[in-house]
Amino acid sequence: MIKIAIDGPGGAGKSTLAKAVAAKMGIVYVDTGALYRTIGYYVRQHDVAPDDTEGVIACLDDIRIEVKYEDGKQNVYLNGENPGDKIRTPEMSMYASKVSAIPKVRAFLLDTQRDIAKKNSVIMDGRDIGTVILPDADLKIFLTASEECRAKRRYDELIARGQNVRFEDVLAEMNQRDTQDSTRDVAPTAAADDAILLDNTDMTFEQTVDKVIELANNCK
Ligand code: DC
């Protein structure tokens, strides 16, 4: 069993990287952002403001989250239904960022994340995986890249999904979210003391994947 934690700001390429490494190593990729997005989606559907702490906490009583791996893909079920790409919009990114600052939301999702890692070899990406969720991970990586590069990647990803967005808006939204995520009181985006910092601004995707696999093989 191996546990790999990948944390870092938005647009660093954590999910694409983690997905590729998982496929090459034959381990499970866990996208923890999808859990916060799913809570944000429920909150939005019920017309609760994402920064209405009491309102969001009240929603938790009616939320049942299940994570399933189907055809090698992670699906997060919300009360038995899979919202699919509806959690991937810029609006849901912002909802996820806001609800994730609420300690009870983080506590609500803690066991779900740890249970998956208990049962499987995983590469898990998020903001607090190395610091809070899997403090004993075998390998911790804090992945980053320049602001411009991260915004460009996020922009390309949204365009590829068919979303109609402007680069300036993506950059502004990304910066606002990163500030929120890294300055909140509970489990802010942070590199664990024993994390390896990996800046992939000038690295190709393949180089980044190879680097992580090399690091993973070294810690086996
Ligand atoms: O990785 P992502 O963009 O899908 O995450 C969406 C939001 O969820 C992000 O802005 C902050 C929050 N999040 C978090 O607080 N902790 C995690 N482990 C993963 C995501």
In this structure, the residues whose C-beta lies within 6 A of any atom of ligand 1 are 10, 32-33, 36-37, 93, 96-97, 100, 126-129, 177, 181
3-state DSSP assignment of residue 192: coil
H/E stretch holding 34 reads helix 33-45
95-106 residue pLDDT tens:
999 999 999 999
Structural domain spans, the chain: 3-219
pLDDT at res. 118: 97
Report residue 22 as tokens: 């998982």
Q: Which residue puts its alpha carbon closest to atom 18 of ligand 1?
A: 126
Atom of ligand 1 nearest to the CA of 181: 11
CA atoms within 13 A on the CB side of 173: 22
Which band of pLDDT confidence, cut at 50, 70 and 90, is reported for residue 157? confident
- Across the range 126-143, mean pLDDT stands at 98
Please write the tens of the pLDDT for every residue from 8-57: 999 899 999 999 999 999 999 999 999 999 999 999 999 999 999 999 99
For Cα atoms 122, 124, 127, give the angle at the middle one, nearest 5 degrees.
Answer: 160
CATH class of 3-219: alpha beta
**Nearest CA-CA partner of 50 in 10, 112, 108, 92:** 92
Question: What are the structure tokens assigned to 21, written together?
Answer: 């490494």
**Mean pLDDT of the residues in the chain:** 96
Matching residue, tokens 């049962």: 119
Place of tokens 């590729």: 20
Give the ligand 1 atom nearest the CA of 129.
18
Residue 194 has a pLDDT of 97
Nearest CA to ligand 1 atom 6: 33
pLDDT value, residue 190: 95
Question: 143-165 burial string, b = 16+ CB within 10 Å, else e?
Answer: bbbeeebbbbbbbebbeeeeeeb
Task: Classify residue 106 by its DSSP letter.
Answer: H
Please work out, in degrees rounded to the nearest 5, the angle formed at the alpha carbon of residue 65 by the alpha carbons of 27 and 55.
135
Give the pLDDT of residue 219.
86
Give the pLDDT confidence of 47-93 residue by residue, as tens digits.
999 999 999 999 999 999 999 999 989 999 999 999 999 999 989 99
Question: What distance in angstroms lies between residue 32's CA and the mean position of ligand 1's atoms?
Answer: 7
Closest alpha carbon to 177 in 119, 93, 77, 109: 93
| 161 vs 121, residue with greater confidence | 121
CA nearest neighbour of 127 among 187, 64, 186: 187
What is the distance between the alpha carbons of residues 39 and 58, in angstroms, rounded to a whole number? 12
**Residue 72 confidence (pLDDT):** 87
Instruction: Name the pTM for this structure.
Output: 0.95
Ligand 1: centre distance to CA 97 (Å): 6
Interior angle at CA 40, CA 36 and CA 46, nearest 5: 150
**Predicted confidence (pLDDT) per residue in 144-153, tens digit:** 999 999 999 9
The residue-averaged pLDDT of 197-213 equals 97
Ligand 1 atom at minimum distance from 113 CA: 18
